[in-house]
Structure 1
């Protein structure tokens, strides 16, 4: 069982990637209190002070036991009872507060190093852990208030540490918007006012820098009745004097020295810094927590590996690419992108060869023996700040040779499976988008006014797309491509269960193609798993019991159990208690196609042959698409 507790924003609990509904704010407070004291017993008296403001009610102990029982249903024996209290046992990486503090500590420890980009990457990863005010959603005026205030203050300090680091490397122009937003929320931060002044000055806008000083002085005097401190006043005087010390001068460091200290030369003495990341999606919404997790994983300790997994069409690739662009500055030696296309027969040695070629190794110089290839790659990557992104992975063996053996490189893997046999890596699940994020994605593609015009149809469209980003992108693309298409008309089209996957395709975006790829990968490795999907697709109630499935397939029940566990891992099946297995809605649509009768013979209608892939398509569809 993997647990993910979020306290840096709305308090959340996820178990094995699934959000746990906790309901009452006091239950969230119990979780927060136990998590902040993780792996240490917390007495009922202390826990009461964390949950209730003011005097503790007589029913406090009974209520606490009830809330703990509710949490135990989700996390099991991770909560241990002690005489007069409880203990929540967490592993590394399961609490965002711990990750934030670790990344901040590592960044501060490396401030004097010769690799400022690595420090910037760690500071950015620390801030990426946040998604709102600390402890949002729990009762206030409790003993936890000081903890939340301390964490919020540390967040501000890390933001300003990051601004300092970026000023050091000459990123003054890119800081302006963020610093202004920061100061709008926290106008008494003198350090941030000084950073804004310096960034403006280095951009050549001295009047704006001096105006920022006046704004800082006004804020401090109006709210606190004090003048700016000596550091800010000294900076202001230096700007008035046009002091040359304020200008940014690129550091002069001989490249051979940097290589000797931080990089191991390639075997042939050359180095190519690849820049292979695909373009980032403009319409990317939600996934704040997941993005923070990927960033933290690849900028964290060795092995710096993130496995992004989830259902077909779940936005795994988009998340991985967004994260890679987010941290690209922290990997100046390059970014390599390889798409395996979910090919189960793609051997690891070919993946290694592709990466070597991306790093400038001629095809004729790639070693023939798999172990030699892997060794050559490790030699080239050792100590280098290089990011590898491998998409479309079907099993762990394909990327095992790419797992970093030491500090420097990082790896992002995109897979439908969770790749459990990879040790010590961070796994990030991409589930369905919530209604708010799904609506935001549709609105970004088709225009929010289209959605506002028919709220009921919008809600139904979100339901039909089941929160999958690919399905939502197809629906949004259809709306954007046909301004006259009404929402209720599109809902009617996609709501037709016999043709839903026909309508969830547009250009090179296709839910059917993505489902077919995932199904083919599973069936090529396990024929029983493929037959189980077909059985589920043909089941009248959409549910399957392992014993009956074993009898129908002529295999043992144990064999069916193993295949079902594999299907759950690939997100093609989910367990519906008690002990029944079902297909997600769009997977069921695809499975029903697999079990359907052979298609009727193709017909010529008005001289047109109308087909879609291997299935027949009504002749009027081609006309409707151009109305």
Structure 2
């Protein structure tokens, strides 16, 4: 069976070439929601948000199942039932959104080459996927609105990228009516104002080009109260000066340099699209996500550090924010995972990023400073987003801090990375009871939790505000419909096997904690030993003098180790001079204390004794 689903206009479903679009608006919204999240499970809770603009009715789940049952008569085994969720399986060429984005990416890559006119056919094909406003005819005010807005923005960007390619090909005369129509509908598009100015200038109508600048300035002042940006103002000054570089000149291949001349390898900008998939069941953290988006989405972009305890959902939040702003970074998105390894050097990070941006591995400079300089040259003025996960030291990402307008940086780590200057910091606190319940509901279903609210509240407390622990608990409930919330609470609550139970497939609270602890231990041996010491008496706060005596080091050295553990969210301050282990860290530290590791360089007087309160 060959499907074709079109969302870039009125929603349309074709099966083997025949139109089979369901009639009901909400059923079409169900189809659109599943299609736009193709090949990923969409929870009933999330699907309801895509269908109803206000609070879903009590019958929402029953209505959704009814709509899906009708759709399955047409879609067959392409529509798969999951626990409290559904998944629509599609090939990339069966969804016009995927085809549009594929063609747009290929066109951008061609636009960045020495012959940008080669992008015309590909970008034109991308725009031909559109038949009107995305999601036309579907209910508005739903969770899909942001997706439609993002797609409509991408359409405008591709139109302007096509205009850039056509200007490079000398089609300035043919472009004039299309650019004027584009600006009539979207008068705040500064890039298009500049393209119209350049097209008129190359047609020999310099007065009209200068008049367009005045029109743009008046519109921006009237509607936004701002002056034109630097790019538009620079173009205006160049036209006043009759700068020769503004005139159209066909691209001519550069001659090959003589063999005796050493030439630095030319770099063709590759448009990377490396962001991991956005979690469908991402819940809560609305304010923190907005803080990250606000930092990197501005005209000048910026840098933000997302910190939090192991399992707090740092990476998921960073990826969610990155997807939310991705359309504003047409030069690409790079994702690098350092895996919380202290051994990763700044030079290795720079090399990874340079390769992602199109530098051949053999051309990556050997010197870290030279790599940093080349990166800044490549990044200058480019609208691309860089996300670096698993950072343990500020030095690993310091060379990547934006040196000017254009690029943006999101850093994810357990530590605060306080020595990084000029960055915004977003710290994730443990989830509250209401948010924790929402996370459980996203996986297990709200009706499952409503059957036993007391047990649900206790399960949320046992997960201690950890987004990872809540996700695993919810997944366990979803996997086993016969397992009651109270039964899971009884298993998790006894404390003996809690970390064993808070693991599912590749998700594990213990592994998450182990990664964070390993990073601290490899950087500060005393901090690692101190954590083991606290694990031997997890209910007692640490006192500096007593801990120093037990470890055989100075009180100053213990204070520094405590600061390291607190900075990594492995201990919590309990007033002057006192610290306490968070709940899940306490479970893991107790395991460490049971089998303490031998120090590489033995600490004098080392022993594990209970820490007095």
Q: Alignment partner of 2:292: what SS? A: helix
Q: 1:173 aligns with which of 129, 133, 142?
A: 133
Offset from partner CA, 1:305-335 (integer Å, 9 cap, x none): 0100010000000100000000001100000
**Counterparts of 2:324 and 2:131, CA distance in 1:** 15
- Aligned residue runs from structure 1 range 358-377, under 5 A: 358-377=356-375
- Aligned residue runs from structure 1 range 298-337, under 5 A: 298-300=296-298, 304-337=302-335
Q: 1:393 aligns with which of 374, 391, 394?
A: 391
| Alignment correspondent of 1:238 | none
Contact 1:267 1:380 in 2 (8 A): no
| Alignment correspondent of 2:462 | 464
Change (3 A) 1:367 1:294: same
- Aligned residue runs from structure 1 range 37-76, under 5 A: none
| Alignment correspondent of 1:498 | 496
**Counterparts of 2:308 and 2:495, CA distance in 1:** 24
Q: CA deviation at 1:436?
A: 1.2
- Aligned residue runs from structure 1 range 435-514, under 5 A: 435-514=433-512
| Alignment correspondent of 1:587 | 585
| Alignment correspondent of 2:534 | 536
Change (3 A) 1:178 1:523: farther
Q: Alignment partner of 1:308: what SS? A: strand
Contact 1:302 1:404 in 2 (8 A): no
**Counterparts of 2:280 and 2:502, CA distance in 1:** 21
Q: CA deviation at 1:433?
A: 1.2
| Alignment correspondent of 1:281 | 279
Offset from partner CA, 1:235-277 (integer Å, 9 cap, x none): xxxxxxxx9998899969879x79x9899xx972511111000
| Alignment correspondent of 2:422 | 424
Change (3 A) 1:540 1:441: closer
Change (3 A) 1:246 1:564: closer
Q: CA deviation at 1:536?
A: 0.8
| Alignment correspondent of 1:517 | 515
Change (3 A) 1:323 1:303: closer
Change (3 A) 1:586 1:372: same
Contact 1:302 1:405 in 2 (8 A): no
Contact 1:374 1:401 in 2 (8 A): yes
**Counterparts of 2:588 and 2:388, CA distance in 1:** 27
Change (3 A) 1:598 1:550: closer
| Alignment correspondent of 1:154 | none
Q: Alignment partner of 2:587: what SS? A: helix
**Counterparts of 1:558 and 1:444, CA distance in 2:** 46
Contact 2:538 2:580 in 1 (8 A): no
| Alignment correspondent of 1:75 | none
**Counterparts of 2:451 and 2:137, CA distance in 1:** 34
Q: Alignment partner of 1:393: what SS? A: coil
**Counterparts of 1:397 and 1:303, CA distance in 2:** 21
**Counterparts of 2:499 and 2:137, CA distance in 1:** 43
Change (3 A) 1:491 1:371: same
Q: Alignment partner of 1:484: what SS? A: coil
Change (3 A) 1:384 1:247: closer
| Alignment correspondent of 1:26 | none
Change (3 A) 1:328 1:301: closer
Q: CA deviation at 1:579?
A: 2.4
Q: Alignment partner of 2:390: what SS? A: strand
Q: 2:348 aligns with which of 347, 350, 372?
A: 350
TM-score, length of structure 1 as denominator length: 0.55
| Alignment correspondent of 1:576 | 574
Q: CA deviation at 1:173?
A: 2.7
Q: CA deviation at 1:577?
A: 2.1
| Structure 2 unaligned spans of 5+ | 1-129, 143-148, 156-180, 200-230, 236-263, 598-613
Q: CA deviation at 1:498?
A: 1.4
**Counterparts of 1:509 and 1:248, CA distance in 2:** 46
Change (3 A) 1:275 1:559: same
Q: Alignment partner of 1:278: what SS? A: coil
Change (3 A) 1:574 1:248: closer
Q: CA deviation at 1:595?
A: 1.1
Change (3 A) 1:556 1:299: same
Contact 2:265 2:363 in 1 (8 A): no
Count of residues paired in the alignment: 371
Offset from partner CA, 1:430-456 (integer Å, 9 cap, x none): 111111111111111111111011111
Contact 1:433 1:467 in 2 (8 A): yes
Q: 2:543 aligns with which of 542, 545, 550?
A: 545
Offset from partner CA, 1:94-120 (integer Å, 9 cap, x none): xxxxxxxxxxxxxxxxxxxxxxxxxxx
Offset from partner CA, 1:320-362 (integer Å, 9 cap, x none): 0000000001100000000000001000100000011111111
- Aligned residue runs from structure 1 range 96-245, under 5 A: 173-174=133-134, 180-181=140-141
| Alignment correspondent of 1:296 | 294
Offset from partner CA, 1:272-315 (integer Å, 9 cap, x none): 11100000001111111101110111124757001000100000
**Counterparts of 2:596 and 2:359, CA distance in 1:** 50
Q: CA deviation at 1:491?
A: 0.6
RMSD of the alignment, in Å? 3.4
| Alignment correspondent of 2:122 | none
TM-score, length of structure 2 as denominator length: 0.56
